[in-house]
């Protein structure tokens, strides 16, 4: 049975990945710092599961990570741990550099030393998979798509920190031979997403009949990827990806933000109409734009389709329906994750910009 060290596995994508991996019979050692974005409740069904070991800690804690590697002898490390919200990176970039850059560097060094001491097939088969974002490529105009050879041009403190970590991962392969893989994916949505991101934030506010904040003119485009499809892509890359390569992962689902918000309004109206029968679209409120707001992201996912036979199984419509249904069925989870300091207030207005 394979063992994975998963970092950030109490977060949105990492949590979905861990649930999927355990269901498929893998062993998972799950290292998570439990920041505001980490929610043990996502993993509630695994509490007694012998295949899941949860460890509360930081990827930058070399002593801890070294011990985990020594004790559990994982076949691979999958690095999801990061500060992930662009708006928060505008308000406070330092934490993004600390975890995404300094933390990833520590994890890479510890992984390299562990891998170097392995022998035979264990050494040959070991992989370090780094989960990154399409935001490292910058912003597109009306035409074109991000490919794996698109030059990096990160525009936010978040994407700059992810770009730096991607470069370190690449350098550890070229310099030390560490068998790395990197995936760069587009905007994920689906179960267990912290309600600071567009989709769950709009769902929460729309259910409550509150104003739906749309930044700028609402015409920015994102390529929407259902989280379960993303997790399947990561597994495929882990199993069959070529060492040292990067793979773009996208949902073939480019939509303007305004379309996303209107779609969510219509799905909620059909399931749970507002008491006064007003269409929720009327709650849309245009607010001040995000500073440095990237206009358009679009992924050319041709490489992972050709080389690894991966394509997304959810369309934009089917994935959004599933997400809305999940959200309505899991209101207790949402209430619980909103217990902390975050009150769905506007973040990242760039008061100091």
Which of the residues are catalytic? Answer: 134-135, 158
SS3 label, residue 149? coil
SS3 label, residue 217? coil
Exposure string of 2-12, with b = 16+ CB inside 10 Å and e = fewer, is eebbbbbbbbb
Q: Which of residues 52-91 bind ligand NAD (CB under 6 A)?
A: 58-60, 80-82, 84
Residue 81 binds: one of ligand TDX, ligand NAD, none (C-beta under 5 to 8 A by kind):
ligand NAD
Which residue bears the tokens 């562990």?
A: 114
Q: How far is the CB of 283 from ligand TDX (least distance, A)?
A: 12
Other beta carbons within 10 angstroms of residue 55's beta carbon come to 16
Which residue, 84 or 257, is less far from ligand NAD as judged by CB? 84
Answer whether 301's CB lies under 8 Å from 252's CB. yes
Q: What is the spatial distance between Cα 74 and Cα 230, in angstroms, rounded to a whole number?
A: 22
Residue 214 binds: one of ligand TDX, ligand NAD, none (C-beta under 5 to 8 A by kind):
ligand TDX
Based on the number of CB atoms within 10 Å of its own CB, is 170 exposed (0-12), middle (13-18) or buried (19 or more)?
A: middle
Task: Check binding of 220 to ligand NAD (CB under 6 A).
Answer: no
Residue 90 binds: one of ligand NAD, ligand TDX, none (C-beta under 5 to 8 A by kind):
none
Which residue, 235 or 290, is less far from ligand TDX as judged by CB? 290
Structural tokens at position 353 = 């910009």
Which residue, 183 or 187, is less far from ligand TDX as judged by CB? 187
Answer whether 211's CB lies under 8 Å from 205's CB. yes
Q: Which of 58, 135, 166, 229 binds ligand TDX (CB under 6 A)?
A: 135
Q: What is the spatial distance between Cα 31 and Cα 59, in angstroms, rounded to a whole number?
A: 7
Q: What is the spatial distance between Cα 248 and Cα 250, in angstroms, rounded to a whole number?
A: 7
Q: Which of residues 181-220 bind ligand TDX (CB under 6 A)?
A: 187, 197-198, 201, 213-215, 220
Interface positions with ligand NAD (CB under 6 A): 7-8, 10-14, 31-35, 37-38, 58-60, 80-82, 84, 99, 103, 131, 133, 162, 185, 187-188, 194
Interface positions with ligand TDX (CB under 6 A): 84-86, 133, 135, 187, 197-198, 201, 213-215, 220, 222, 257, 290
């Amino acid at each position: 049975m394979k063992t994975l060290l998963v970092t950030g596995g109490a977060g949105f994508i990492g949590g979905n990945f861990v649930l999927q991996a355990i269901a498929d019979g893998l062993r998972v050692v799950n290292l998570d710092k439990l920041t505001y974005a980490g929610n043990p409740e996502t993993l509630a069904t695994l509490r007694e599961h012998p295949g899941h070991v949860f460890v509360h800690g930081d990827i930058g804690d070399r002593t801890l990570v070294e011990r985990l590697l020594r004790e559990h002898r994982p076949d691979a490390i999958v690095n999801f741990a990061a500060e992930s919200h662009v708006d928060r990176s505008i308000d406070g970039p330092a934490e993004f550099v600390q975890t995404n850059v300094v933390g990833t560097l520590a994890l890479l060094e510890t992984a390299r030393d562990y891998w170097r001491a392995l022998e035979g097939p264990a050494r040959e088969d070991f992989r370090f998979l780094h989960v990154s974002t399409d935001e490292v490529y910058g912003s597109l105009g009306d035409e074109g798509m991000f490919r794996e050879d698109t030059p990096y041009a990160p525009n936010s403190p978040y994407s700059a920190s992810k770009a730096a970590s991607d470069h370190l991962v690449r350098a550890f392969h070229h310099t030390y031979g560490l068998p790395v893989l990197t995936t760069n994916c587009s905007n994920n949505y689906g179960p267990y997403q912290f309600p600071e991101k567009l989709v769950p934030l709009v769902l929460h506010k729309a259910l409550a009949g509150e104003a739906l904040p749309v930044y700028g003119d609402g015409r920015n485009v994102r390529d929407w990827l259902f989280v379960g499809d993303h997790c399947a892509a990561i597994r495929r890359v882990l199993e069959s990806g070529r060492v040292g390569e990067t793979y773009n992962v996208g949902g073939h689902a480019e939509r303007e933000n305004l379309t996303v918000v209107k779609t969510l309004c219509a799905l909620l109206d059909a399931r749970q109409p507002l008491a006064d029968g007003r269409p929720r679209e009327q709650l849309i409120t245009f607010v001040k734009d995000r500073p440095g707001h990237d206009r358009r992201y679009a992924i050319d996912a041709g490489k992972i389709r050709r080389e690894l036979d991966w394509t997304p199984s959810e369309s934009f419509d089917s994935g959004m329906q599933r997400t809305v249904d999940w959200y309505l069925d899991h209101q207790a989870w949402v209430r619980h994750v909103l217990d902390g300091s975050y009150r769905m207030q506007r973040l990242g207005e760039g008061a100091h910009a």
